[in-house]
Amino acid sequence: MPEFCKAERDGHVLIVTIDRPERMNALHSPAHYELSEIFDNFENDPELWVAILTGAGDRAFSAGNDLKWQAEGGTRARPATGFGGITFRYDRSKPLIAAVNGIAMGGGFELALAADIIIAAENAIFALPEPLVGLAALAGGLHRLPRQIPMKQAMGMILTGRRVPAKEGYQLGFVTEVVPEGQALTAAKRWAGDILKCSPLSIRASIEVVREGMKHASVEDAVNAQYYAVDAMRESEDFIEGPKAFAEKRKPAWKGR
């Protein structure tokens, strides 16, 4: 059983909680490997369609890298899937929602940026403060943030390490929704429920097309690229079930295959 995080199934949803509140949910090497295994299992389980990532307690989503662990002589080893087993998981095919319930600093912000949707409580704070301690946000933050908000706004955050509250994050565009303090996970579950109304294969196809399409300079090249998840969608039982349910005026019974 994991020691530094929790994984709970709720139907087709997996709720993953970083469980180190005494360290503001900062991550050390053992936690990285635990999370990587959890997300490996999530990716490989055909009955899990959406994941939510949050932090234990009401103070922090994740304060990022556990610098105390390093100061105490702990190893800096991490899995190939990156910080929290997420930031270098470039082939992730299922939707991930970050329920940010407090501080998301450094690697914690990079975890959130690697998700598809960010739900932030009003007390959430985001920052990439690495330069203030002689480091840099190399777990994807320096690449993802300028791709998700205007470049000058991203550079303003990156070059100062300044803290951005949830409402400003929403105005900048990297936060999907701001909710009252203590309601981030509840709202994330609502979003997950809305996603589950859709065909899981359509969702996976959409994720792949958006992610891989961004690698192309022109819309024409992106449209004409090969997308394997689209092929899987078109060959699935759900591809038949969707139009059939619409014609019969009923809710579709998605199978995910």
Q: Do 172 and 153 contact (CB within 8 A), yes or no? A: yes
The CATH number of domain 5-196, selected from 3.90.226.10, 1.10.10.10, 1.20.140.10, 2.40.170.20: 3.90.226.10
Q: What is the pLDDT of residue 71?
A: 79
Question: Distance between CA 247 and CA 10 in Å, rounded?
Answer: 30
Q: What is the pLDDT of residue 178?
A: 98
Beta strands at 177-179 and 50-55: parallel, antiparallel or unpaired:
unpaired
Provide the H-helix boundaries in the chain: 29-44, 67-71, 107-113, 141-148, 151-158, 166-172, 184-196, 200-213, 219-224, 228-234, 238-247
What is the rounded CA–CA span in Å between residue 25 and residue 30?
Answer: 13
Catalytic residues: 110, 130
Q: How far is CA 127 from CA 16, 37, 57, 109, 200, in A?
A: 22, 27, 19, 7, 33
77 touches 123 (CB < 8 A): no
User: Three-state DSSP class for 152?
Assistant: helix
Backbone angles phi, psi at 130, to 5 degrees: -50, -45
Q: Residue 230 is encoded by which pair of tokens?
A: 């689209």
pLDDT in tens, the chain (257 residues): 789 999 999 999 999 999 999 999 999 999 999 999 999 999 999 999 999 999 999 899 999 999 888 778 777 889 999 999 999 999 999 999 999 999 999 999 999 999 999 999 999 999 999 999 899 999 999 999 999 999 999 999 999 999 999 999 999 999 999 999 999 999 999 999 999 999 999 999 999 999 999 999 999 999 999 999 999 999 999 999 999 999 999 999 999 98
